[in-house]
Structure 1
Amino acid sequence: MLVTLIIGCEIAFWVLLGAGLAVRYLLRRPRAGAALLVCVPLVDVVLLAVAAADLREGGTAGARHALAAVYVGFSAGYGHSVVRRADARFAHRFSGGPKPPPAPRYGRARAVHEWRLLGRTAVSAAVAAALLRLAVRLVADAGRTAALREWQVRMVATAGIHAVVAASYTLWPKREPAARPRE
């Protein structure tokens, strides 16, 4: 049931996001659209409540519980930027807003971009790890929470890998290709 709820929450995230943007720009109701966009984080609250209830009722913590924590962590770290980028693209496409700039691809600007993404990944990993730790304490049975502790390590590893990627763009920046002469 929890896996189905996670999938449902992912669908609800995108439905609320799309509905909020459609109401905001297509129906030209910015307040109503903003109200729908504010509801997007409520999806995470529902997911957390159900996962916690499942653990409190004696369920053995598994990958599905860890995935719920990772989902909420991703929403905490990347959710606002996903909504902001979708809003900018929707405004450009349907409301005559300026075209959103693409992510930088070369040099220092790309390195700075990667470090910002690392910050979001670190927030995501920290929130997920904290929720996993809270679930371990909630269950208070080492035999039922081994999977959650494993996922805490995965969150640290994810942030570590992203740190290596960000550092690589800083140490070995990708150079913009030279303009080819026209013939």
Structure 2
Amino acid sequence: MPSCVHPAVPPGSLSISAQPILAAGAFRLRPWRLTDVAGLVSVYAESDIQRWHARSMTEVEAARWVERAGSAWAEETEASWAVEVRGALAGRMTLKLDLTEGCASTAYWTRADYRGSGLAPRALVVASDWAFSIGMRRVELEHSTRNSASCRVASKAGFVAEGIRRDGALHADGWHDMHVHSRLARERPVQ
């Protein structure tokens, strides 16, 4: 059945190019590579990552995850970056893309030694600004209402709290209510 709407971002407009590297100050967001596998396994062994992302990762799973990130870019369903500080894996920033609706949802984390440094909100702003630059109209995120650190990241990055999705996600310790935040293209700060 034909659609009666035009996609916010034309299909095929992303995959014609390599996934961009986004640089900002002392860090950069770059596509994942197989040399990140050991770092991913290490990060997903951290208790906070397991608590909020509800998983651990083996080397085989990490390699598949890196490969899937590349495939998702080619399919225009996701842009996922390693957040790198002075050559070291410091975090993750992922945007799940709905090009028709012009909406992206985020997933992110930082390694334990980078938490509280302001890296996550800065990386979230950089990724969101990139999304707006390609024609996305909305970037949203959800986090457990019990995850106050993620709430601070959203607020510092200029995301507006919209409400709570009750029993929105299953974590290892049961169902969590999820706090919903968003940032709209029209809310971008003037640079």
Whether TM-score is above 0.5 comes out as no
- Which range, TM-score by smaller chain? under 0.3
Q: Which has the higher helix share?
A: 1
TM-score normalised by length of structure 2: 0.25
Bigger relative CO (Cα 8 Å, ≥ 6 apart): 1
Larger Rg: 1
